[in-house]
A and B are shown apart, each in its own frame.
Chain A
């Protein structure tokens, strides 16, 4: 249904930009590193640098600012909540105001602001990855990144395949769940009244058909994959093989230089 068409590819916004074209491994690497680095960032000038970087990457990859900001929406509450905790519980000399036993300190407020901002930057940066990388590129990248572990028996291909399939079926299952709920509501099912136990029980007529559907689907899907010559990861060649070329080297290098500057600014402050 059109209702969920928007979320069809997660947040991925297809476009042909240098950032989109980058090997997903380079983007994964940079994202993971940036997560660590953002957590280490304490000074405001360094945070401004991060904001600038996010702005530039978004600009180059043609991600509308509104979409980017909206991606932080769901965890805004978390950000506000942690910030508030910091305001009241960091403790410090200068008390700005107090509500009952709760005292807000100036130090606390600054820490709160810093933590909130850090979380916000972190979310935006990771969002850039999902905006510019399709789900299957992501799982390809993951498979390649985990590849070395498969020598120790880690099922890298299987994990990536599971991710691909899970992402593929999210919209479909969403639609089907909606339909089953609607069908049961039409037959008088009531999910809203009664205690917790009664409400939980009311979901049985939804869950059982859903499980039946999922098992049947898994069965046919397995046949369909076999039909299409699937034999596991061995011998599989990708249509767009991952290529680590000069663009990726340059991207990683740029990021390394940027990190150095950020760390320096952090030290200075």
Chain B
């Protein structure tokens, strides 16, 4: 059981002078239990890709298959796919509409037909998962702080209990504590056997938290692999719009000049390498 994308292409304004290719022959497979990061610059097609994963976009060419169900089949399939694939948009707090936190979080599961105790259970589980105290349930979400609003919004997606959680730039605007909470949530979800698809422009963060990384540039897959594989090959390929994390780019440069042997994105490790190198001379 997995989410697989095969040869997916998409062009906006097809046939018009403003035609723009957003996705070009994208293929990948994301498994349950892993954090799969999709890294790309702004305008690389990441968000268009995200919207394909739960059938928000009409397929032009290629396939998206969720647990064996093909996107673009019949409408009841679409409902099943949307339940299975939870999509957290960028700045999700902007979609909050309900008068109470409880009502907001129960919006998803009640749309999928849950009610009564089952619904209540889902809401509580989602709040626990995201670390929102149950006392918040009756609070007005609009009166909460920015960080709390974001948590309510993410909880409202978690409440549908999706097997695949797609998050588009979830770390945008978070402070350090918010970021720590987010990464621990993503880890928790993958440990629970969920598949976390984390879409970001932050390669540094992706290298730190992912099991696998796919880099897209101008709508096409530029690289795919584990963080260490990705670190190993990034110096050889030039990816438009991608800024390497400082430590990584420094270590590439020193390696290229033959000063150090090992490529790393860890600052202490790099310091150690440099120290060894300088004492050898």
Q: Are B89 and A188 in contact (CB under 8 A)?
A: no
From residue 78 to 103 of chain B, which have CB atoms closer than 8 A to chain A?
A: 79, 82-83, 86-87, 89-90, 92, 94-98
Contacts of A3 in B (CB 8 A): 12-13
Contact code string B142-176 (vs A, CB < 8 Å = 1, else 0): 10000000000000110010000000000000000
- Closest residue of chain A to B110 (Cβ to Cβ) is A188
Which of these, A6, A179, A182, A188, contacts B108 with CB under 8 Å? A188
Q: How far is the CB of A56 from chain B (nearest CB, A)?
A: 24
Confirm or deny: A212 has a beta carbon within 8 angstroms of a beta carbon on chain B.
yes
Confirm or deny: B28 has a beta carbon within 8 angstroms of a beta carbon on chain A.
no
Q: Are B96 and A188 in contact (CB under 8 A)?
A: no
A182-B111 in contact given A6-B16, A209-B95 (Cβ < 8 Å): no
Contacts of B142 in A (CB 8 A): 212
From residue 172 to 230 of chain A, which have CB atoms closer than 8 A to chain B?
A: 176, 179-180, 182-190, 204-206, 208-209, 212-213
Confirm or deny: B51 has a beta carbon within 8 angstroms of a beta carbon on chain A.
yes
Confirm or deny: A234 has a beta carbon within 8 angstroms of a beta carbon on chain B.
no
Contacts of A5 in B (CB 8 A): 13, 18, 20
Contact residues of A: prevailing secondary structure: helix
Contacts of B108 in A (CB 8 A): 187-188
Q: Are B111 and A187 in contact (CB under 8 A)?
A: yes
Q: Are A186 and B87 in contact (CB under 8 A)?
A: yes
From residue 142 to 200 of chain A, which have CB atoms closer than 8 A to chain B?
A: 176, 179-180, 182-190
Contacts of A213 in B (CB 8 A): 94
Contacts of B95 in A (CB 8 A): 180, 183-184, 205, 209
How many A-B contacts if CB must be within 8 Å? 72
Confirm or deny: B56 has a beta carbon within 8 angstroms of a beta carbon on chain A.
yes
Q: Are B54 and A2 in contact (CB under 8 A)?
A: no
Q: Are B22 and A2 in contact (CB under 8 A)?
A: yes
Q: Are B12 and A2 in contact (CB under 8 A)?
A: yes
A187-B160 in contact given A6-B18, A209-B94, A213-B94 (Cβ < 8 Å): yes
From residue 96 to 149 of chain A, which have CB atoms closer than 8 A to chain B?
A: none
Count of chain A residues with a beta carbon within 8 Å of a chain B beta carbon: 24
- Closest residue of chain A to B51 (Cβ to Cβ) is A182
Top 9 closest pairs, chain A to chain B, by CB: A188-B111, A208-B97, A187-B108, A2-B12, A183-B95, A2-B20, A186-B87, A6-B18, A205-B97
Contacts of B16 in A (CB 8 A): 6
Alpha-carbon distance A1/B17, docked complex (angstroms) = 15
Q: Are A183 and B89 in contact (CB under 8 A)?
A: yes
21 A-B contacts (beta carbon < 8 Å) = A2-B13, A5-B20, A6-B13, A6-B17, A179-B89, A180-B94, A180-B95, A183-B92, A184-B95, A184-B107, A185-B56, A186-B82, A186-B86, A187-B108, A187-B157, A188-B79, A188-B160, A204-B97, A209-B95, A212-B94, A212-B142
Alpha-carbon distance A222/B94, docked complex (angstroms) = 20
- Closest residue of chain B to A186 (Cβ to Cβ) is B87
Give me the interface of A with B, judged by CB distance under 8 Å.
1-3, 5-6, 176, 179-180, 182-190, 204-206, 208-209, 212-213
Contacts of A183 in B (CB 8 A): 87, 89, 92, 95
Contacts of B82 in A (CB 8 A): 185-186, 188
Q: How far is the CB of B3 from chain A (nearest CB, A)?
A: 15
Of the listed residues B22, B95, B112, the one surrounded by the most CB atoms of chain A closer than 10 A to its CB is B95
Alpha-carbon distance A2/B45, docked complex (angstroms) = 11
Q: How far is the CB of A245 from chain B (nearest CB, A)?
A: 34
- Closest residue of chain A to B20 (Cβ to Cβ) is A2
- Closest residue of chain B to A190 (Cβ to Cβ) is B111
Alpha-carbon distance A212/B112, docked complex (angstroms) = 26
Q: Are A182 and B18 in contact (CB under 8 A)?
A: no
Alpha-carbon distance A1/B86, docked complex (angstroms) = 22
Contact code string B2-41 (vs A, CB < 8 Å = 1, else 0): 0000000000110011101010000000000000000000
Q: Are B56 and A182 in contact (CB under 8 A)?
A: yes
Alpha-carbon distance A107/B16, docked complex (angstroms) = 41
Alpha-carbon distance A182/B87, docked complex (angstroms) = 9
Contacts of B92 in A (CB 8 A): 183
Alpha-carbon distance A201/B13, docked complex (angstroms) = 31
Contacts of A209 in B (CB 8 A): 94-97
From residue 99 to 129 of chain B, which have CB atoms closer than 8 A to chain A?
A: 107-108, 111-112
Q: How far is the CB of B89 from chain A (nearest CB, A)?
A: 5
Contacts of A208 in B (CB 8 A): 97
A186-B13 in contact given A2-B20, A180-B94, A209-B96 (Cβ < 8 Å): no
Q: How far is the CB of B94 from chain A (nearest CB, A)?
A: 6
Alpha-carbon distance A187/B157, docked complex (angstroms) = 7
